[in-house]
Structure 1
């Protein structure tokens, strides 16, 4: 299935990582990072069509395309085995249970890539897949992290455990994430934006951790919560490495 990827950084990343069928660039726009896009396209002999802003607006469904849209084949998903095989003794995996907002998935993917996570697991049903909005929100980072679709998250968790992962679910009122040892092979479960983690997945986690809050609103956006936990995982690993070198 073909899809449109728009925005300068997302298009640059897709040009680096995947086959692009065609580029649409706004007439007269050849400044800044557009020059880099032209150069990458020339290297790969990609057809470029200069068009007007109205056409680009239609392709991007009114989103900010920054004068560039790429036509590409659908996102290439990985298998769970491929994600596990890419992990060393400090492998990091994110499990997203029914994240429905593509902007949340994009923001989570951007943070996951920045925090050095190896892969993201999403369920086959009730979850947004990787689409143009995910690309745009992740600034193209989704191209640099493996994503797999699993029919049964509980079975995926069991497989991670068989491969020496410790699985942490996130919920309110449990042990603080900052008081938890998050080093080694870890998998973090982030729940649905409104309902959180489902019962069957929650009971299959090794431990439930929470983010302490003092405000009157007792929940965070899924992407914010995921980012906080993921960078705590990275912080603890860095701290452990520093101590081992002393």
Structure 2
């Protein structure tokens, strides 16, 4: 199987990519990039394999693929693959329950920048976050860049990937979890009581938390700002909230 020697986070080339799609579990594949204008038969095969595993195919120009694999011979297809293993959410929740432990969990709704995810992992480790939940689609996964930015935290904070965040929230609410999400019109985060089975939800860098997910929140939180710029980098905002969580729970 041809894996780019300069970037182990990609599998490319038609035979290698198709074999990987057929043989590997979908949790090991972050994204499927297909060159626009490839032969119809090949495109149908890729879309069929991806659909069977619940993967989204992103059609991109050839220049994008060239950039991803440093001008390697990608033949019109590149798979972004997971460099690190993901945790099973059901197993994590069952373990917390068995230990009678009220966990603090971080849910990330579509963080796209791997540097942001890496820095968030680092802060999560520092503040005692028990696990992180990310979506399988339209978000960065665990890559080499994430690992490097996390400075080792990736090995200590379990990360679970789920297909549908809204359904995951509903399932966890049935198990007694409370959800707290960031919003412009929320309560001052400094008054946040994060004790118990708590989940902090952080939205996408530009769009914030998606509407359907935000509707599921038990409480909305905001970080007051007096400057001219009324927004913070996702990693910075997460850090502020995680330390409030740490203060609230440690007391």
2:226 to 214, 217, 220: 214
Question: Contact 2:104 / 2:199 at 8 angstroms: preserved in 1?
Answer: yes
In the TM superposition, structure 1's runs of 4+ consecutive aligned residues that sit over 4 Å from their partners are: 1-5
Corresponding position: 1:170 with 2:182: yes
1:36-82 superposed Cα distances (whole Å, 9 cap, x missing partner): xxxxxxxxxxxxxxxxxxxxxxxxx9xxxxxxxxxxx8311011112
Corresponding position: 1:144 with 2:153: no
**Matches of residues 19-98 of structure 1 in structure 2 within 5 Å?**
74-87=83-96, 88-98=100-110
CA-CA distance at 1:90 after TM superposition: 3.0
Question: Contact 1:86 / 1:118 at 8 angstroms: preserved in 2?
Answer: no
Equivalent residue number for residue 113 of structure 1: 125
1:147-190 superposed Cα distances (whole Å, 9 cap, x missing partner): 11111000111122122111001111210111121111100000
1:184-241 superposed Cα distances (whole Å, 9 cap, x missing partner): 11000000000001100000111111111111111111111111111111111111xx
1:132-155 superposed Cα distances (whole Å, 9 cap, x missing partner): 100010001011111111110001
Secondary structure (helix, strand or coil) at the match of 1:81 reads helix
Gaps of 5+ in 1: 6-60, 62-72, 240-246
Equivalent residue number for residue 128 of structure 1: 140
2:214 to 195, 202, 225: 202
Give the 3 Å change call, closer, same or farther, for CA 103–86 of structure 1 in structure 2.
Answer: farther
Give RMSD over aligned pairs: 2.2
Q: Give, in whole Å, the separation in 2 of the partners of 1:173 and 1:203.
A: 13
Question: Contact 2:180 / 2:200 at 8 angstroms: preserved in 1?
Answer: yes
Secondary structure (helix, strand or coil) at the match of 2:184 reads strand
CA-CA distance at 1:113 after TM superposition: 1.1
Q: Give, in whole Å, the separation in 2 of the partners of 1:209 and 1:119.
A: 20
Q: Give, in whole Å, the separation in 1 of the partners of 2:151 and 2:91.
A: 24
Secondary structure (helix, strand or coil) at the match of 2:128 reads coil
CA-CA distance at 1:85 after TM superposition: 3.0
Equivalent residue number for residue 170 of structure 2: 158
TM-score normalized by structure 2? 0.65
Equivalent residue number for residue 192 of structure 2: 180
Q: Give, in whole Å, the separation in 1 of the partners of 2:222 and 2:140.
A: 24
1:96-151 superposed Cα distances (whole Å, 9 cap, x missing partner): 01100000000001111111111111111110000010001000101111111111
Question: Contact 2:83 / 2:144 at 8 angstroms: preserved in 1?
Answer: no
2:115 to 94, 103, 117: 103
**Which piece of structure 1 moves more, 92-101 or 74-83?**
74-83
